[in-house]
Structure 1
Amino acid sequence: MPDLLIELFSEEIPARMQAEAAATLKARVTDGLVEAGLTYAAAQAFHTPRRLTLAVEGLLAESPTTREERRGPRTDAPEKAIEGFLRGAGLTRDQLSAREEKKGTFFFAVIEKQGRPAAEIVAEVLEATIRNFPWPKSMRWGAGTLRWVRPLHSILCLMTTEAGAEVVPLDIDGIAAGDSTQGHRFMAPAPFSVASFEDYAAKLKRAHVILDAAERADHIWNDATNAAFAAGLEVVEDRGLLAEVAGLVEWPVVLMGEIGQDFLDLPPEVLQTSMKEHQKFFSVRNPRSGRIERFVTVANRETADNGATVLAGNQKVLAARLSDAKFFWENDLRVAKADKMQPWLDQLENVTFHAKLGSQADRIRRIAALAREIAPHVGADPELAAQAATYAKADLSSEMVYEFPELQGLMGRYYAEAAGLPAKVAQACQDHYSPLGPSDAVPEGPVSRAVALADKLDTLTGFWAIDEKPTGSKDPYALRRAALGVIRLLLAGDIRLSLTDLAAKADAFDGQADTADLLSFFHDRLKVHLRDAGVRHDVIDACLAMPGNDDLTLLVKRAEALSDFLKTEDGTNLVQGFKRAYNILTQAEAKDGVAYEFGADPKFAETDEERALFDALETAKPKIDAAMAAEDFAAAMSAMAALRAPIDAFFEAVQVNAENQVVRRNRLNMLHTIRDTCLRAADLTKLDG
């Protein structure tokens, strides 16, 4: 069974596109091979800035011959129908056979497809893959029609067996497949031939190319952390930047440089962001002071002076960038200290948030009013919450945030501190955007939580009011993220409030926001959140059907208690007993046209099991009532669990629909008591099974 090696060698591929492109190459080629009848044992894809590589092991040498019988039209069908069948099958009339079946006599065709050599199939699949490759952006060059992300220079396509290696015949726009590639652009540019994947990977490494992106990333990280450790420093971890830099070099050479003394007093986040965004540098921190003091850059080649010239150039460019950042920082501090950010707040009057929702200043006023309403629910001072909301977005007018939008909020904290605002207000300026995603931390301070909730609720009610809701996969205003943020804030803080009431207060557009529809949207997000936490969908539905479902904290406590209850044997069996009682009672009420909702009388009980169930219900009721009043759902369900055995015994010993109508009515009334008791904690009718 041959092994297949493919390399597509081009000019530099943008780092952000490489991993997905390698995965696409693997998927399209292997899927195409399998569809053509060629199975394989394993496949691996690799990428560097200049090449996409696919290695396939254990490929079939040829596709198998297949034989398929296909039924056609009836023998007395119109001639055009028969001709269409012949065209589809690729046969002539004399190659058909007729066979009688229950519905008539039909034509049958036996279609035999001869197996083909693997090389022929590989050539077809690879050409189709290259010509239809889904690059986010592509280009043409020269006089050809081929499109690729950057000019494609060569195609290596090799099949290797024990007998040797064979080039797969293939030519795309004058680029003929071969068995050769090139190493590092500067350190080993001469072409060389390869005979297998192992030979290819080994020769590439000797030619200063590390094929595996993960290996390049590990090499960068190890060298960077070792260099920092030797200087008593530490590299600030940034996995995204590490993956990006590993996609910029084929032979990583780690160099550590110094940051000019003039810039060391800049906030560490400013230094880190500036170096990452503009230079792709890693920040190196002093663990004792927390200051960013050095940087790590990754060159793509070794040099005779061990990178001294590269470092000098990088430090010169970095100094220019940081001079801008220092200028912004000092200007912004003057505004914050002298005028307490008031000029920035004034500027927001002229900044449109949304054409239908007013300016940023309008939005800030809404958030401040809502934060004042929310504050008592989260244990915050209402005036402090309103003040924090007023200043939370002031930094949007600052020069630093204009240059680095990703620093919004964080710079707000620095500027609020410089302006002498209370510490809780400054912290809320930074925290109120959080949580931005499922892994982002939730603000802990009460003032921060009040402003964060107000910010997200204003966003949701505003866009609901103008009917700009998420549709399908489209969510341009990140409203799903905002709803999940509200959910996480409420649950993390054990915050009890009515979303319906709060959304009505947040709606500054005269009730235009459909709060019922918005609550449904929250419930959909909550379902996703709870399913990720392992809570069954039917358990969630059973709790959503209960009153107070706009209090998400209460709703989740109910769902978690029910979920835990159903994992016990008593819980599972009690639900089955409840459903049996529910079904019998529902059918009887429908048949008789009456509601059996009068209390059952023990004096009409005929069996010990019946009397035992009366006693169990009488004992459980006050316990369940007390637990429900305390919103202790676990205790309520524990009290309900005590009913499991008496209910089981009752149904084993008693026929509900007895001939004696008095006894029958009494037993149906008892089923009503069971139904009402079991429905106190959750709507068990929503449970599956």
Structure 2
Amino acid sequence: MDPKTQPLLIELGTEELPVKALPGLAQAFFDGVIAALEKRGIAVERGDARPLYTPRRLAVLLPGVALEQPEQASEVFGPYLNVALDAEGKPTRALEGFAAKAGVDWTQLQKTSDNKGERFVHRAVKPGVLTIDLLPDVLREAAAAIPVPKPMRWGGNDYGFARPVHWLVLLFGKQVVPAELLGAKSDRMSQGHRFEHDKPVWLSQPEDYVEFLRGARVLVDPDERRARIVAEVEAAARQVGSDARVTDDNLEQVVCLTEWPKAVLCSFEPAFLTVPQEALIETMEVNQKFFPVLRDGKLTQYFIGVANIESRDESEVRKGYERVIRPRFSDAKFFFDEDLKQGLASMGGGLKSVTYQAKLGTVADKVQRVAALAETIAREVGVDPAQARRAAELAKNDLQSRMVNEFPELQGIAGRHYALAAGEPKEIALAIDESYQPRFAGDDIALSPVGKVLAIAERLDTLAGGFAAGLKPTGNKDPFALRRNALGLARTVIESGFDIGIPSLLAKANENLAAKNVQADAGEIYDFILDRLRGYYADKGVPATHFNAVAELKPASLYDFDTRLDAIGQFATLPEAEALAAANKRINNILKKADIEIPHAVDRALLGDPAEAALAEAVEAAIGDTDDALHHHDYVKVLGRLAQLRPQVDAFFDGVMVNVDDPKIRANRLALLRLLAARFGAVAAIEHLSA
């Protein structure tokens, strides 16, 4: 260790902190301490230091912090000479006042110059303050910077925090730094596990912290707790030849609920397995923070709870976990059984009395609009229209089920189970579930053909209806989740390879709204969808210039948009790309400024210059070579062939004047350039690739 540094430990002991907020609170405290130290010029050796925390503590452990600040240089500017000195060169009151404030005689001041002239300046160097004397302020500043949305107050105090504070450890090296924060005075005494180690933990130095707390049955490192939880949960699942379902969200919450985690294998009655496993998993993970146990992807009768104690009688802990889960499972089974008695088809009757949106009618109205769209889309992509319509007509029925009323997250999932129970074809049942995909960022799109069609139809109607009802997103407000729906629509179309015209389908969706006397601008909605794609492609590493080159053309098919974008990406790697992009930019500027009528064809008799004749011949050949590829959307081949025109394009601009006095020759040359630009423009506006 550097003799000019000491390790620093700060631990703020509290009552149980909010689970979901805990990592953020710990990170903010950690960042705040480092920021406060660096603000004061105190060097910090962070190493691999990171926030340490448990439900009852926030801690910062830094391996090396400088013993003192470096020297503090200051520079304070005073009055200009014409104000500071009188005609005889003696100090004025302004200069004397400045010197007095600096604590020196005016003759000790230095001079400096700026663009306004010469002025006095006081420069001084002070020795750095000892870090130990600054740490109380560092602590208070870091604590004040922690974002606590709803501070609690306790004991009649006028201050608050996320939870009441009970102890404070502040060690710099082996020395306790005197300080007070939120009613707690600093000490070297930490606290172990509430139940398994009820004695204070004496810390001689910061380096002992993690090990001594571990001895007191507290794992202060969240990474260590996380690894232990995963290892124990997986080991428990292996006892019954299965695998534990460990999601990131559930794992993080258990990490924030425990200090000394211990996995306990539990079970429930097999009769509950007749309930859709998604409902049981939802109950286990969301309500109880248990880990379901699956075999080959199917839920078993086992689950794993994680206790915050290593009990002498684990069977009692097991009984407790099994007891709390049984009522929730019983409710789920009751809801499921009652829904099966009613049947999915009959549930749809209730949708006529459920308002979807005031201007757009009921959910039943939306179902009919989506069904009509699904039938149209199905015909275009080669999917059975009857199945698409049937899936759309049943897709919202489960909203009237008892199961979805209790578990809203099971929309579509419950419908799939009820459809299968009612004897509907599996394609229709699966589509009911998949119509909600992607449900969240990063989720997969629908996989089945009917599911893809229904997902697209659903989002088209939602977008058209949202815009027609005046619900276009503004700022952070997006009540109908139109941004998410636009991206979900685009992803489904592109990733499915459906070459369908979105503007025409939006127009169809708009027609379906006529009965409600509301209308949307299909063009505005399509622009909105393209804007969502900007972020989608940026996440894939596509440069904005490439996106803009295609977006300017607004291809009606999003799949075609993607195909063009891929071609632009390949074209941009060619050595000819930059020069041709620049030439295309120049051509477009010339054409925009043209003040004469440009003919549609090039007159070969007017091609007097060898360079323009060569370009005309090359362009004509390239157009002939790319007609078929353009028709079949083989844009890579088109741009690859056009890239071969660079020598002729360079020669033309090097040796030919376009805007000559002779109007016929000028118009003919403009026609040639427009022909070239049009063929490039048939793929993308490649001028965007030019810096």
| TM-score (norm: length of structure 2) | 0.90
SS in 1 for 2:570: helix
SS in 2 for 1:296: strand
Partner residue in 2 for 1:426: 429
Partner residue in 1 for 2:14: 10
Match status 1:136 vs 2:140: no
Match status 1:245 vs 2:254: yes
Of 498, 503, 517, the residue aligned with 2:524 is 517
Distance 1:123 1:607, change over 3 A: same
Distance 1:105 1:49, change over 3 A: same
Partner residue in 1 for 2:449: 446
Partner residue in 1 for 2:626: 624
Match status 1:484 vs 2:491: no
Deviation, 1:643, is 0.7
Provide, for residues 341-383 of structure 1, a one-character-per-residue CA deviation record: whole Å limited to 9, x for no partner: 3442222233333344333223222222222222212322323
Q: AA paired with 1:130?
A: A
Deviation, 1:72, is 5.7
Match status 1:335 vs 2:316: no
CA contact (8 A) 1:577 1:644 kept: no
CA contact (8 A) 2:160 2:182 kept: no
Q: Using the alignment, how far apart are the partners of 1:12 and 1:400 within structure 2? A: 34
CA contact (8 A) 2:167 2:190 kept: yes
**Greater shift after overlay, 275-284 or 521-530?**
275-284
Partner residue in 2 for 1:29: 33
Deviation, 1:432, is 0.6
Q: Using the alignment, how far apart are the partners of 2:97 and 2:666 within structure 1? A: 70
Once the two structures are superposed, the pairs formed by residues 170-189 of structure 1 within 5 Å of their partners are: 170-189=179-198
Provide, for residues 466-524 of structure 1, a one-character-per-residue CA deviation record: whole Å limited to 9, x for no partner: 22222233334322111110001101221122222222222364453232222221111
Partner residue in 1 for 2:552: 545
Provide, for residues 436-470 of structure 1, a one-character-per-residue CA deviation record: whole Å limited to 9, x for no partner: 23421111222212221121122222221222222
Partner residue in 2 for 1:319: 326
Partner residue in 1 for 2:133: 120
Deviation, 1:648, is 2.7
Once the two structures are superposed, the pairs formed by residues 664-675 of structure 1 within 5 Å of their partners are: 667-675=669-677
Q: Using the alignment, how far apart are the partners of 1:114 and 1:469 within structure 2? A: 60
Q: Using the alignment, how far apart are the partners of 1:569 and 1:525 within structure 2? A: 31
Number of equivalences: 674
Q: Using the alignment, how far apart are the partners of 2:504 and 2:525 within structure 1? A: 12
Q: Using the alignment, how far apart are the partners of 2:102 and 2:380 within structure 1? A: 73
- CA root-mean-square deviation: 3.1
Once the two structures are superposed, the pairs formed by residues 474-623 of structure 1 within 5 Å of their partners are: 474-507=477-510, 509-546=516-553, 549-583=555-589, 593-597=595-599, 599-602=601-604, 609-623=611-625
Provide, for residues 410-459 of structure 1, a one-character-per-residue CA deviation record: whole Å limited to 9, x for no partner: 11100111122222221111111101234211112222122211211222
Of 628, 643, 646, the residue aligned with 1:644 is 646
Distance 1:665 1:263, change over 3 A: closer
**Greater shift after overlay, 666-675 or 627-636?**
666-675
Q: Using the alignment, how far apart are the partners of 2:96 and 2:680 within structure 1? A: 68
Q: Using the alignment, how far apart are the partners of 1:89 and 1:483 within structure 2? A: 64
Match status 1:152 vs 2:156: no
Match status 1:299 vs 2:307: yes
Match status 1:309 vs 2:316: yes
Q: Using the alignment, how far apart are the partners of 1:216 and 1:349 within structure 2? A: 51
Distance 1:74 1:170, change over 3 A: same
CA contact (8 A) 1:131 1:147 kept: no
Q: Using the alignment, how far apart are the partners of 1:230 and 1:89 within structure 2? A: 77
Q: AA paired with 2:524?
A: D
Q: Using the alignment, how far apart are the partners of 2:12 and 2:494 within structure 1? A: 51
Q: Using the alignment, how far apart are the partners of 1:320 and 1:12 within structure 2? A: 27
Distance 1:367 1:228, change over 3 A: same
Deviation, 1:624, is 2.5
Distance 1:488 1:84, change over 3 A: farther
Partner residue in 2 for 1:676: 678
SS in 1 for 2:259: coil
CA contact (8 A) 1:465 1:509 kept: no
Match status 1:401 vs 2:409: no
Q: Using the alignment, how far apart are the partners of 2:389 and 2:105 within structure 1? A: 84
Q: AA paired with 2:487?
A: L
Deviation, 1:181, is 0.4
Q: AA paired with 2:38?
A: V
CA contact (8 A) 2:210 2:221 kept: no
Partner residue in 1 for 2:274: 265
Deviation, 1:206, is 0.8
SS in 2 for 1:14: coil
Provide, for residues 188-230 of structure 1, a one-character-per-residue CA deviation record: whole Å limited to 9, x for no partner: 1211221333301000111111112222122122122222223
Provide, for residues 160-198 of structure 1, a one-character-per-residue CA deviation record: whole Å limited to 9, x for no partner: 1xxxx1122211243101111011111112112213333
Distance 1:543 1:72, change over 3 A: farther
Q: Using the alignment, how far apart are the partners of 1:436 and 1:472 within structure 2? A: 22
SS in 2 for 1:129: helix
Aligned-residue sequence identity (percent) comes to 35
Q: Using the alignment, how far apart are the partners of 2:59 and 2:621 within structure 1? A: 72
Of 370, 374, 378, the residue aligned with 1:371 is 374
SS in 1 for 2:274: coil
Q: Using the alignment, how far apart are the partners of 1:200 and 1:279 within structure 2? A: 32
Provide, for residues 386-427 of structure 1, a one-character-per-residue CA deviation record: whole Å limited to 9, x for no partner: 221121111111111111111111111001111222222211
SS in 1 for 2:51: strand
Q: Using the alignment, how far apart are the partners of 1:211 and 1:636 within structure 2? A: 61
Of 38, 42, 47, the residue aligned with 1:38 is 42
Distance 1:376 1:598, change over 3 A: closer
CA contact (8 A) 2:507 2:522 kept: yes
Q: Using the alignment, how far apart are the partners of 1:159 and 1:496 within structure 2? A: 66
SS in 1 for 2:20: helix
CA contact (8 A) 1:378 1:449 kept: no
SS in 1 for 2:66: coil
Q: Using the alignment, how far apart are the partners of 2:144 and 2:581 within structure 1? A: 59
CA contact (8 A) 1:640 1:678 kept: yes
SS in 1 for 2:383: coil
CA contact (8 A) 1:373 1:382 kept: yes
Provide, for residues 599-622 of structure 1, a one-character-per-residue CA deviation record: whole Å limited to 9, x for no partner: 445555566544433321221111
**Greater shift after overlay, 278-287 or 392-401?**
278-287
Partner residue in 2 for 1:459: 462
Partner residue in 1 for 2:392: 389
Deviation, 1:92, is 11
CA contact (8 A) 1:11 1:152 kept: yes
Q: Using the alignment, how far apart are the partners of 2:115 and 2:246 within structure 1? A: 73
CA contact (8 A) 1:254 1:296 kept: yes
Provide, for residues 243-295 of structure 1, a one-character-per-residue CA deviation record: whole Å limited to 9, x for no partner: 211211111111101212332333322221222222221111233x9342211
| TM-score (norm: length of structure 1) | 0.90
Deviation, 1:84, is 12
Provide, for residues 632-667 of structure 1, a one-character-per-residue CA deviation record: whole Å limited to 9, x for no partner: 211211221121222234445556567988776655
Distance 1:123 1:533, change over 3 A: same
SS in 1 for 2:65: coil
Q: Using the alignment, how far apart are the partners of 1:665 and 1:435 within structure 2? A: 53
Q: Using the alignment, how far apart are the partners of 2:30 and 2:94 within structure 1? A: 41
Unpaired runs of at least 5, structure 1: none
Q: Using the alignment, how far apart are the partners of 2:546 and 2:674 within structure 1? A: 22
SS in 2 for 1:33: helix
SS in 1 for 2:52: strand
